[in-house]
Structure 1
C-alpha cells in the first residue's frame, strides 16, 4: 500500500465534511419534528382532534422541507430517465390511491439519455402541476402521461378526458409555462371542448449555448476593437476620434469595416451584437 495515494485528497475531504454537515443538519431537523409531535400527542391542553390537526401540519411541513432538500441535493446529479419517471409515479401515487383519478403511465425508453437533475426535478413538478390543473376542472377522470427522449430533449405528453377548455393563457397553467420557459423549453396546449386537453412539452437536456462575443467571433484589429468599445459605450464619431487621437474620417472608416464584418445595418445593431 502506498500511504501517499491512500490519503484522501483535499477536495474529497471537503466533500466528506460537507456531506457530514448536511446529514447532521437534517438529523437535527428530524429530531425537532419528532420532539414536536411527541409534545403535541402528550399535551393535556389539546383534545384528540386538535392534536391530530397540529400533528398533521407539522408532519406535512417536515415532509415538504425534506423533499426540497432532497431535490436540491439531486439538482447537480444525473438521473436515468426511467428512474426519474419511476419517482414521478411515486409522487402521483396518493392521487391515484385516494382519489377517483385513473392515471395511465407510458414508460420512457430504458435507453434514453440520463436527465440533468434540474430537468428531472422540473419535469416532475410540471407533470404534478398539470395533473392538479386537470383535476381542478372537476370532470377529469383519466390522465395519460408519456415521457420520451430524443437525445437532445425530454418530451412530455399529458392528456386528460376533462372539459377541454384549458388554454395556454389559463392561470392554472402559468406555473408550468414559467418552468418551461426557465429551461428554454416549449409548451403547446390544445383543447377540444368535451374531449379534453393535451399538453406537449419539450425540455432541452443541455443549457442554451451562450452567444460568442462579437469581438471573439469576428477577426478585428486592435484599433477596431477600441472603436467598437467606445461605440458600444454610446460615444459619437467626434468623441471617439478625440479619445483615440485619430481623425473622424478614420473613425468612419473603422465603423464601416465593423458594420461589414458583423453583418450589421446600423450603429445600434452593431452595438447590440457587441453586447
Structure 2
C-alpha cells in the first residue's frame, strides 16, 4: 500500500483508495501513462489487508473487508488514451474483441477481490464518450459523436451481463452505476439537474483542455451550471449526482 506522508495507521479501518488517474482495465492503458495498473492496485489492497490485520487483529480485519464497499470506476481511458490513440491494441483486437478483453480483465479483478474477502461491489459504467467536449472537438461535431457513444453503450451492456453472471454464481452483492444514462440525461435535460451548459467544460476554452492542461487557465464563474469541468471530466456537481445514484443502486442490491 502506498501511504502518503502524514497518513495515520489508525485511519486504515475507515477506508483506503488505490485509484490511479489514467489507468484502466487494460494493463497497457496504465503503461501508456506510467500510472498504477489494476493488478498493482489489487496488490496494494492485499498489502492494506496485511497492515489492517496487524492493527486490529485477524477477525476484525476480515469483518472490515467483508462489510466494506469496493468501488471500480474505469474504462474511459482504455478507449480514449489507449484504443483510439495508440496503434497497438487496434492491431490485436476489433472494437468488440477489445470490449470482451476489458470485461475479462474486470472479471479477473473481481475474482481477486472476492478471494481477499470482498462481498460488496459498485461498478461505475463508461460514460457517453461521444458527448465529451474533447471528442466532439476532435470529431468536429456539434452534437454527441454517436459512433463513440455506441462503443460506450455496448461496453456497458457487456459489463452488466458479466456482473449479473458473477452475482448469480457468487454471494457477492454488485451494483452497477449507469454513468452513461445519467450523464446523457443531464445533457439532454439539464434543467432537471439545475444545469445549463452541456457542450463545453468550465476551464479554459472548455473544448480541448483537460487535467494538467487546465492549470493556470481561467475558469467559468459558476461551475454548478456545467456538466463538464474540463473537456473530459464531469464537474463536482455531476460527480455528486453520480455518487447519489451509486448509493441508491447499492441500497437496492443490499435489500435483496
- TM-score, normalised to structure 1, is 0.22
TM-score normalized by the length of structure 2: 0.23
Choose 1 or 2 for highest CA Rg: 1
